[in-house]
Amino acid sequence: MRVLVTGGAGFIGSHVVEALTARGHEAIVFDVRDDPGADVRNPAAVARALGGVDAVCHQAAMVGLGVGFSDAAEYVSRNDLGTAVLLAAMAEAGVGRLVLAGSMVVYGEGRYECPRHGVVRPGPRAVAGLEAGRFEPVCPVCGADLAPGLVAEDAPADPRNVYATTKLAQEHLAAAWARSTGGSAVALRYHNVYGPRMPRDTPYAGVAALFRSALARGEAPRVFEDGRQRRDFVHVRDVAAANAVALETQAEPGALTAYNTGSGEPHTVGEMARALAEAYGGPEPVVTGEFRLGDVRHITADSARLRADLGWKAEIGFPEGMREFARAGMRGA
């Protein structure tokens, strides 16, 4: 199969290219890092790249929480306009298979259960509570403490920042393309992906990259809030394998199917920082109590549907992955 990989020179995309090549496919890299003209917002460049292509793996995106709302127009341009241009070109070229790099951020806060009111959805956290160190969401009905759980793909979307909003819009665009053309679309909702070639020293990087960059500078990783926020850290090679499997499996025509893509082993951010610092050889992390308003407290999702439908499961465990990541090379932003 001949697969166009947008963002194929980036962190996740480069691993997808390797995974596809190892499985006997031809991966065509389309990335502004290699060629400034290879921008998914450039209709002519995209149309040329789609020649002879069987499927598209769309990894190109502006990622991370960013530095403020002033980033909003750039996020929308790169993620949503870029996706719209790509999908329009695919419709014109008759390319009918898409795998989209989605994100668990579309859910907003994760799944919570109140002992009195069952499953509830807490609203956005308030600045006053965060400044006072009240990081845990409470029941919106009675104010009781909540127990976090795993989110399934049918949970309602509730994006809490600009990046999350654009990732949800990408899914809606892909679904509209599939309905209009009869094509098949899969959105892999990534958890916190980490591993070799993560970008370093950029405010748009994930928390694992920020911690690893700090350690490389001889500085202690700075853990926001109290470090007890739960995430699912999934290795980039496992995510690349999920993309390859999704491309090889004929999804339902005329629709988009979403799959949570995580390790299935939730860990706190503090646990991750300690494991990484220990593997690197220090310094020990510092829990700061700082916060970012766009962050959510707990988000871990159930990846059982991906295992059941496509036979994929994460192979690289947390301790092994952190030991490798502690010594792995990183790339510039």
Query: Annotated catalytic sites, by residue?
Result: 163
Instruction: Identify which of 247, 259, 257, 252 has the alpha carbon closest to the alpha carbon of residue 314.
Output: 259
**CB neighbours of 271 closer than 8 A, spacing ≥ 6?**
227
d(C-alpha 54, C-alpha 305), whole Å: 25
d(C-alpha 90, C-alpha 174), whole Å: 11
Pairing of strands 266-268, 230-235: antiparallel
What is the phi/psi pair of residue 273, to 5°? -60, -40
The token pair that represents 120 in the structure block = 């509830």
Pairing of strands 55-58, 97-103: parallel
**Cβ atoms 54, 97 nearer than 8 A:** yes
* Identity of the residue numbered 217: R
Q: Is the peptide bond before 283 cis (omega within 30 degrees of 0)?
A: yes
**CB neighbours of 322 closer than 8 A, spacing ≥ 6?**
272, 275, 276, 279
Give helix 236-248 / helix 11-22 axis angle, nearest 10°: 50
